[in-house]
Amino acid sequence: MRDRRAALRPHEIGLTATGTDRRTPGLRREEVAELAHMSVDYYTRLEQARGPRPSTRILDALSQALRLTPAERSHLFRLAGSSAPPGISAVRRVRPHVARMLERLPETGAIVTDAAYGVVAWNPLAQALLGGDLGGGRTNLARRRFLGQGRMYESSSAEEFGHIVVARLRRAADRYPHDPQLTALLAELHTGSEEFRQIWQTRPVHAPGHRTKILDHPETGTLRLNCDVLLVPEDDQEVVLITADPGSPAARTLHRLARQAT
């Protein structure tokens, strides 16, 4: 906290620096306390590790006052012995550096999904593999899987994927109980899919990782593909990478599709 306070300058947070004899290189303790809506004495005890364990509300106020990045906010919560809660709503935008990473994977299909399984980014090969409607920016894989909205090719992992989807949506519902878009999606799925309702009742749990599936593509035929998931924890998003074993028929097909997609 002391280091982050010292790194801030009054003008960066809208404060007027009065006088030229500031001995503090950054903000004063009373300035941070005012920004965080707490007493100077309480803030001082926290900074000196003499105070009681702060509440989530206090930690959030300090994070905002000190202009902490998401990683720094999470670190502050860990130092205080707490877990940083997520934001109010699922993040439905993709960070530019994540989007650029997809562009540098010419023979790997790649998509980014938010916490509610909305597709927020994709590359041309993923669009060729998973259907042209993927590029519309409104694709939701949960709606595809349970409501048939959008092109869904036959896959050996369809049943498993249904449980994966429900597990992730249950986790999202716990994290973002006040997200109106997520609430509407869950109501739509409960109303429109008996299968979704049945799986929901089982409370499935799933950890992202590696899967192999057989995809029945209408143009290229049967493809044996690998799916690996990378996490973007600060936004609660997942990057799904679709590849084929080197030298396999599926790898040659991906190579051809990638050339056609560029």
Q: What is the DSSP string of 196-252?
A: HHHHHHT-------EEEEEEEETTTEEEEEEEEEEEEGGGTEEEEEEE--TTSHHHH
Position 36 in a domain: yes
Q: Is residue 101 part of a domain?
A: yes
Q: Which of 45, 79, 113 is the last residue of a domain?
A: 79
Does 49 score more than 70 pLDDT? yes
pLDDT at 243 over 90: yes
* 6 and 133 assigned to the same domain: no
In this predicted structure, what is the pLDDT of residue 249?
A: 95
Please report which confidence band the pLDDT of residue 21 belongs to, taking 50, 70 and 90 as the band edges.
low
In this prediction, residues 72-83 reach a mean pLDDT of 83
User: In 3D, which of 205, 193, 207, 199 has the Cα closest to residue 167?
Assistant: 205
Asked if 30 and 110 sit in the same domain, the reply is no
pLDDT tens digits, residue range 133-191? 776 668 899 999 999 887 666 677 788 899 999 999 999 998 888 899 999 999 999 99
Statement to judge: residues 137 and 246 lie in one domain: yes
Mean pLDDT over residues 38-64, rounded?
Answer: 88
Q: What is the mean pLDDT of residues 88-113?
A: 88
Sign of CA dihedral 88, 239, 126, 216: negative
Of 15, 49, 79, the one marking the end of a domain is 79
Count: domains in the chain? 2
Is residue 85 one of the residues assigned to a domain?
Answer: no
Give domain status of residue 89, yes or no.
no
26 and 131 assigned to the same domain? no
d(CA 113, CA 217): 21
How high is the pLDDT of residue 18? 54
- My answer on whether 75 and 100 are in the same domain is no
Contact 204, 170 (CB under 8 A): yes
| 14 and 108, same domain (yes or no) | no
Give the confidence band of 22 by pLDDT, cuts at 50, 70, 90.
low
Q: Is 84 part of any domain?
A: no
**Which residue range is the domain that position 178 belongs to?**
96-261
For the residues 101-105, what does the mean pLDDT come to?
A: 89
Confidence at residue 19, expressed as pLDDT on a 0 to 100 scale = 52
Give the domain CATH number at 56: 1.10.260.40
Shared domain check, 193 and 74: no
Domain membership of residue 90 (yes or no) is no
Q: Is residue 190 in a domain?
A: yes
Higher model confidence: residue 83 or residue 180? 180
CA gap 248, 224 in Å, rounded: 9
Q: Which domain CATH number covers 177?
A: 3.30.450.180
Q: Are residues 45 and 101 both part of a single domain? A: no
Q: Clarify whether residues 248 and 122 are in a common domain.
A: yes
More confident call, 172 vs 20: 172
Read off the pLDDT of each residue in 250-255 and give the average, rounded to a whole number. 95
Do 42 and 126 belong together in one domain? no
Residue 250: inside a domain, yes or no? yes
Judgement on whether residues 150 and 233 belong to the same structural domain of the protein: yes
Determine the pLDDT at residue 70. Answer: 72
Regarding whether 112 and 210 lie in a shared domain, the answer is: yes
Residue 20 has pLDDT above 80, yes or no: no
Which residues, 6 or more positions from 76, have their beta carbon under 8 angstroms from its beta carbon? Answer: 1, 59, 62, 63, 68, 84
Q: Who has greater pLDDT, 202 or 93?
A: 202
Domain end, chosen from 51, 79, 107, is at 79
Nearest in space to 63 (alpha carbons), one of 41, 79, 52: 79
Look over the chain and give the mean of its residue pLDDT values, rounded to a whole number: 87
pLDDT, residue 177, reads 86
pLDDT score of 228 more than 90: yes
- Across 88-104, average pLDDT: 86
